[in-house]
Amino acid sequence: MARINDNYLKLKAGYLFPEIGRRVASFNQANPEGAQRLIRCGIGDVTEALPPACREAMHRAVDELGDRATFKGYGPEQGYAFLRDAIAKHDYTDRGVDVGADEIFVSDGSKCDTGNILDIFGPGNRIAITDPVYPVYVDTNVMIGNTGGADDSGAYAGLLYMPCTPENGFVPAIPTERADLIYLCYPNNPTGATATFSQLRDWVAYARSNDAIILYDAAYDAYIVEEGVPRSIFEIEGARECAIEFRSFSKTAGFTGVRCAYTVVPRNLKGRTADGTEQLIHPLWARRQTTKFNGVSYIVQKGAEAVFSPSGQSQVAALVEHYLGNAKLLREACQQRGLAVYGGINAPYIWVACPSGLGSWEFFDRMLQEINVVITPGAGFGAAGEGYFRISAFNSRDNAKEVCRRIVEELRL
Amino acid sequence: MARINDNYLKLKAGYLFPEIGRRVASFNQANPEGAQRLIRCGIGDVTEALPPACREAMHRAVDELGDRATFKGYGPEQGYAFLRDAIAKHDYTDRGVDVGADEIFVSDGSKCDTGNILDIFGPGNRIAITDPVYPVYVDTNVMIGNTGGADDSGAYAGLLYMPCTPENGFVPAIPTERADLIYLCYPNNPTGATATFSQLRDWVAYARSNDAIILYDAAYDAYIVEEGVPRSIFEIEGARECAIEFRSFSKTAGFTGVRCAYTVVPRNLKGRTADGTEQLIHPLWARRQTTKFNGVSYIVQKGAEAVFSPSGQSQVAALVEHYLGNAKLLREACQQRGLAVYGGINAPYIWVACPSGLGSWEFFDRMLQEINVVITPGAGFGAAGEGYFRISAFNSRDNAKEVCRRIVEELRL
């Protein structure tokens, strides 16, 4: 009798974005006219053309595969040295951050990595997550049995939720209780907040004093434009003893459909076995990846490498500048309507309080029906997201401007 | 205190292919001359150029990403409809096999899928695997806690090993005890054996009478050239009630470096919860994939779709014919030396009994040192593989011929 993983039955409803997809599809069917002018600012998905440097590199890679002399079969599961070296140099050592190429594991996405990382951690870990939060952190913990069931607000028993509010600048206070694995994401999805050096220092100190590990999601680091904002947890002294970092080419270089990301596991990072013995984490992740993964497409890795070329760097900078330009306009439009607005300065997301005490799915439906704009309801990111919505700045400038116009002229508040 | 998954510490030594890699690297360093003429018939990795149809499609896909009007961001996690439809049509319905596009989940590799599938199955399942076997099945079960520790032969407590020998044609006898999840792979890696309709019918009957699920790995189905050999478990009546099938573009179309595969989960396939309630498997896998995976690169999916075009089909057929031509030569060379040879007819692998009672790692080292040919030691695939070795037919014709020459002229038996 094949037994299923009963933890899956604890999962509430659909994963957020499929649920949004269902509501939009049903709206489109019922309102052909509204569907015509629908603008999507929901899922955080890039919209602009892939940088030419990446495309050129991928064309060359495809051609290489057409000649047996340069054909590539299975590559190293952790990624080709050309890409790991480029990442270590450009994203870390050139910025004075101590991360070696051997500590970088190239993958096909941060969603995979932040989910799969739990494979190497055992039962009995107390999980701390921010609220609101990227739903994947929560759902993958439910799936693996780190939680009990959900209550009516969608909160799962056993998780240590850390509310992020305007009062704490969307960076949670250090818990008064023990946590073993702590999910932090800055620039934050969904709130667009960033953490300060001082805040991250406090987190590193907390993690080290608890033998805890911080799972640091820096998928949006490229959007940090202000001085003095940390881009990597490894800019904090001591973080190499207590953190794993996830990064992605998705939002940096427009790779959401191309698929490439990476995870940094410091070579001396340790966890403990059931009997308390210290155990290096790096070989566990290496074993996980070599056993359950076969590396990222060679073509894609060549495309990712090109991000670090001089032309790639300037093309990527232009992309980021474009999206942040949208974010600025969207912030201003919401502010003009008197809404409380957060994020959108060092991040492609704007986090807005719903007007007149509306619930966030309620406001989602209103934005959809009334001004035909898809946003993401804050409640989809956790109980503390209720009463907020997220606008994504990933769009054309024309679309962003039109959304602003509709917010200013058409939205009834 | 971050607790690791202690199951990882049960894993024996390195995963097979990294271990081969280490031995070859150390040989190369010590023997620059031997390294010069080294020929790799070890890891089952394709060597010939990617079909032009696939390359052309990928070039077009890269160009599409360069225009915001045709840009693709996140795709459906389960794969684009164009590819799922093409797979359902060409690999199943055109062959009279009932599999729908909605039952196909496109992924970046069968290694990932055969490992990740365990996520949706709970503890308490009794696992039956053939011996010898693709090590990923075993190692992923160890990682997830479905086994105890390993004995000296490398066999893990708790697994139901089903020996595959020349006597049973490398298709295991139906167990006399209960199993819940059964791994079968035909054409088989590593033995190159195929199963008959009658044998698979027996397995389907066994699975159905035990409420068990067969995890059927058909990654090498394209190599079946003889009439009357089943290519899919779903050619067997009743299999839709008891089987999941894994297939890959890796060996079919030379995609080992490009990365694309798929898994078929019948929509009515059921498992049971801890309390014995029936539960559909398809939504569990859909939930797993939408939560922990973000789909395969659009570029790669377009390349995979092209496999099903008329030109793609003939190019792929030529590739398969090429590798099977190598297999024939290698079979004959081994037979000429009086070795007992299996497989290599409907499969790209030849399974050979080591001469004069040599152990398989011992013979691996001799082949490496003496004739500078890398093979795969049978013991790397399980205890019952001891005393055998696998030769991969993935090579150029010249290399295959040269390996044959060395086997015939240089190998001391």
The CATH number for A264's domain is 3.40.640.10
Same domain flag for B15 and B148: no
Distance, in Å, from the CA atom of A64 to the CA atom of A71, rounded to the nearest integer, reads 6
Could you give the percent of chain A with pLDDT greater than 90? Answer: 93
Is the pLDDT at B17 greater than 80, yes or no?
no
- Give the range of the structural domain holding residue B76, as residue numbers without chain letter: 54-309
The neighbouring-strand residues paired with A163 are: A131
* Residue range A52-108, pLDDT digits in tens: 999 999 999 999 999 999 999 999 999 999 999 999 999 999 999 999 999 999 999
B301, B283 contact by CB (below 8 A): no
Measure CB to CB from residue B72 to each of A74, A257, A288 and give the nearest one.
A257
Domain annotation covers residue B2: no
Query: Tens digits of per-residue pLDDT, B283-329?
Result: 999 999 999 999 999 999 999 999 999 999 999 999 999 999 999 99
| pLDDT value at residue B308 | 98
- Chosen domain end from A245, A278, A308: A308
Distances (CA, A) of B208 to B125, B238, B239, B276: 15, 8, 8, 16
Q: Is B394 domain-assigned?
A: yes
Q: In terms of domains, do A233 and A182 share one?
A: yes
A184 Cα to chain B: minimum distance (Å): 16
Region A344-369: mean pLDDT is 95
Same domain for A23 and A69, yes or no, is no
Q: d(Cα B144, Cα B123) in Å, to the nearest integer?
A: 9
With 80 as the cut, is the pLDDT of residue B18 above it?
A: no
Which of A16, A60, A125, A297 to mutate to test binding with chain B, by most B CBs within 10 Å of its CB? A297
Instruction: For residues A285-290, give the mean pLDDT.
Output: 96
Both structure tokens of B401 = 């011929």
Average pLDDT over residues A375-391: 94
Q: Is A68 touching B (CB cutoff 8 A)?
A: yes
**Pick from A8, A66, A71: which is nearest to B120 by CB?**
A8
Does some domain include residue A1?
Answer: no
B40: pLDDT strictly greater than 70 = yes
**Interface contact flag, B180 A256, Cβ < 8 Å:** no
pLDDT given for residue B154 in this prediction: 83
Cα B158 to chain centroid distance, Å, stands at 23
Per-residue pLDDT reduced to its tens digit, A103-156: 999 999 999 999 999 999 999 999 999 999 999 999 999 999 999 999 888 899
- Is it the case that residue B89 has pLDDT exceeding 70? yes
- A162-171, A208-217, B10-19, B53-62: segment of lowest average pLDDT: B10-19
**Residue B66 and residue B15 share a domain:** no
Same domain, A159 and A290: yes
Asked whether residue B20 falls in the same domain as residue B168, the answer is no
Confidence of residue A298 (pLDDT cuts 50, 70, 90): very high
Q: Is the pLDDT of residue B15 over 70?
A: no
Count of domains forming chain B: 2
pLDDT over 90 at B16, yes or no: no
Q: How far apart are CA A156 and CA A139, in angstroms?
A: 10
Taking a contact as any Cβ pair under 8 Å apart, which residues of chain B between 104 and 163 contact chain A? 108-109, 111-112, 115-116, 119-125, 136, 139-140, 143
Mean pLDDT for A360-365 is: 95
Nearest to A294 among B2, B58, B112 (CB): B112
Q: By CA distance, what is A5's nearest residue in B?
A: B122
- pTM of the predicted structure, to 2 decimals: 0.96
B348: tokens are 């790209």
Whether residue A132 has a cis bond before it, omega within 30° of 0: yes
Reported as a pLDDT band with limits 50, 70 and 90, residue A51 is: very high
A365 and A229, same structural domain?
no
pLDDT at site A14:
61
In a domain, residue A256? The reply is: yes
Counting residues of chain A whose pLDDT is more than 70, the rounded percentage is 99
Same domain, residue pair A214 and A295: yes
Q: Are residues B192 and B267 in the same domain?
A: yes
Pair B295, B345 in one domain: no
Write down the mean pLDDT value for chain B.
Answer: 96
Q: Pick from A282, A308, A334: which residue ends a domain?
A: A308
Same domain? B146 vs B227? yes
CB–CB contact B74 A43 (8 Å): yes
What is the helix (H) or strand (E) element at residue B341, kind and residue range?
Answer: strand B341-343
How much is the pLDDT for B413?
83
**pLDDT attached to residue A15:** 61
The upper half-sphere exposure of residue A224, i.e. CA atoms within 13 Å in the direction of its Cβ, equals 17
Q: What angle do CA A235, A238, A244 make, to 5 degrees?
A: 70
What region does A338 belong to: left with phi over 0, alpha with psi -120 to 50, or beta?
left
Contact yes or no for B203/B174 (Cβ under 8 A): yes
Q: What is the mean pLDDT of chain A?
A: 96
Spatial separation of the C-alpha atoms in residues B63 and B249, rounded to whole Å: 23
- Say if residue A190 is preceded by a cis peptide, omega within 30 of 0: yes
Q: What is the ipTM of this complex?
A: 0.96
Q: Which of A248, A283, A308 is the last residue of a domain?
A: A308
Residue at B73 is within a domain: yes
Other beta carbons within 10 Å of A202: 16
Regarding whether B224 and B108 lie in a shared domain, the answer is yes
Q: What is the mean pLDDT of residues A226-236?
A: 97
Q: Is the pLDDT of residue A18 over 90?
A: no
| Partner-chain contact B297 A299, CB within 8 Å | yes
Give the chain A residue nearest B283 (alpha carbons).
A8
Measure the CA angle with vertex B140, ends B265 and A145; round to 5°.
80
> Tell me: the pLDDT tens digits for B385-404?
999 999 999 999 999 999 99
